[in-house]
Amino acid sequence: MTTTAAQPAVSIRGLRRRYGSGTDSFEAVRGVDLDVAPGTIHTLLGVNGAGKTSTLEVVEGLAPASEGEVRVLGLDPVADRPAVRRRTGVLLQRSGFVGDLTVRETLQMWAATVTSPRPVEESLALLDLTDRADVRMRGLSGGEHRRVDIACALMGRPEVVMLDEPTTGLDPESRRSVWELVRDLRQQGATVLLTTHYLDEVEALADCVSIMRAGEIVREGTVAQIVADHPSHISFRTPDRALPLPDGDHDRDGELTVLRVTDLQPALTELLVSARDHGVVLERLSARTASLESVFLDVAAERDGAPAPDPEHRSAPHPETDAVLEDVR
């Protein structure tokens, strides 16, 4: 008996999206291909302006593609919008809820637009909002507001959930509770496509990650696959230029040398032996295996055609991407 691979929950082929027309037009999405396997969490990771929202809006059926094809559960999100909308939940980056309504009234209003909605009390409990049910929307903190947005996105028990930066602006505890919720959705069989610029969010959630830069997907796979394909870094300072170096990509900037190597341990051993044999002191020696952070930094550096930043000056292991990128600039 032959088995066929499950149809992707979301499939994107040759997607292009242009804003404006003529000489003023700008192409924000430049030929994206993407498959999201059913029952998985797929993250789109990229810096501000990479094209994540522009892509997601087409998948959500909120904007037409300039070119290419998108299918959600086998359906066209624009032409088959009513059918797609019934089976999907969408969290936009910004919601436009009225500040005068209470949280409960907001959820009741939203429930009226959804086929077979969850009971409002269940939605309140799901997002830990029961105690805030009678507070007006304008009185909520940013994190509480975001939880109302998420409650609305999940109101119709969607098969496919699209979340645009679900945890931006949330405190660490709220972020973790959203992560739990997203994992629960997967456990219940839903498919989740989410955009983020948090590296720790990708590491916590992603079955598959697509890294976007300037409207294109430039890396894709599991975090482990992406990291395994990336070189490790060795850096040190020495005024001695005659030191023989192991094979790999070398950059020298004054006294600083940065090596990019595929196999860290033998390269490091060779370097240490070479330094000992030549009587060279390697100051501020540092060796780092590849990480999602180093992949991301190198992807960002490729954007400018600039060399990857000095690993000595990289920041903490899981900072927010925008903070990481301050190092690159």
Contact residues for ligand ATP, defined by CB under 6 A: 19, 26, 28, 46, 48-54, 197
User: Bridge-partner residues for 35, per DSSP?
Assistant: 11
Amino acid identity, residue 325?
Answer: L
* Residues 97, 100: Cα–Cα separation, whole Å: 9
Query: Shortest distance, CB of residue 110 to ligand ATP, whole angstroms?
Result: 23
- Give the nearer residue to ligand ATP in terms of CB position, either 15 or 292: 15
Nearer to ligand ATP by C-beta: 45 or 124? Answer: 45
Closer CB to ligand ATP, 21 or 116, in the complex: 21
Smallest distance, Å, CB 10 to ligand ATP? 17
Between 52 and 147, name the residue whose CB sits nearer to ligand ATP: 52
Q: How far is CA 260 from the centre of its chain?
A: 25
Least distance to ligand ATP from the beta carbon of 235, Å?
30
Rounded CA-CA distance 65/14 in Å is: 10
Kindly state the smallest distance separating residue 198's Cβ from ligand ATP, in Å. Answer: 11
Q: Quick one: 93 or 108, whose CB is closer to ligand ATP?
A: 93
Residue 25 Cβ, how far from ligand ATP at the closest point, in Å? 9
Write the CB contacts of 88 (distance below 8 Å, at least 6 apart in sequence): 60, 72, 73, 158, 159, 160, 161, 162
Token pair listed for 226? 């992406």
Q: Which is nearer to ligand ATP, 26 or 176 (CB)?
A: 26
The least CB distance from residue 52 to ligand ATP, in Å, is: 4
- Contacts of 288 by beta carbon, 8 Å cutoff, 6+ apart: 232, 233, 234, 294, 311, 314
CA 38 to chain centroid, in Å, comes to: 18
From CA 269, how far away is CA 287, in angstroms rounded?
11
Q: Which residues pair with 89 in a beta bridge?
A: 161
Q: How far apart are CA 189 and CA 172, in angstroms?
A: 26
